[in-house]
Amino acid sequence: MKAVNQIPESLMKELQNYVQGKSIYIPKKKEKYDAWGSKSGGREALARRNKLIVEAFTVGESIASISERYYLSIETIKKIVYGKR
């Protein structure tokens, strides 16, 4: 996208006082960002996995066993099962 087609001429002249002939990155406003994993489904997948981990622990499966099954460290499993529910 060419800046000259997107940015008002007065702003373009001001920008040229700082940057000329180079590419610059203009970040989105914070309110325009999507939450991590919201588009890919990663957030939901982790929530489902964590729910299964908590359920397994609740019915008596050991933390070590859960750790091996999900390929996560014992400390990570502890954070999941003892954290907020």
Give the residue, 6 or 51, on which the prediction is more confident: 51
Determine the Cα–Cα distance for residues 48 and 35; give it in Å rounded to an integer. 17
Token digits of residue 73: 């460290």
Q: Which residue has better confidence, 82 or 23? A: 82
The most confident of the ranges 15-19, 37-41, 70-74 is 70-74
pLDDT tens, residue by residue, 44-72: 999 999 999 999 999 999 999 999 999 99
Residue 13 vs residue 65, higher pLDDT: 65
Task: Give the predicted TM-score (pTM) of the model.
Answer: 0.60
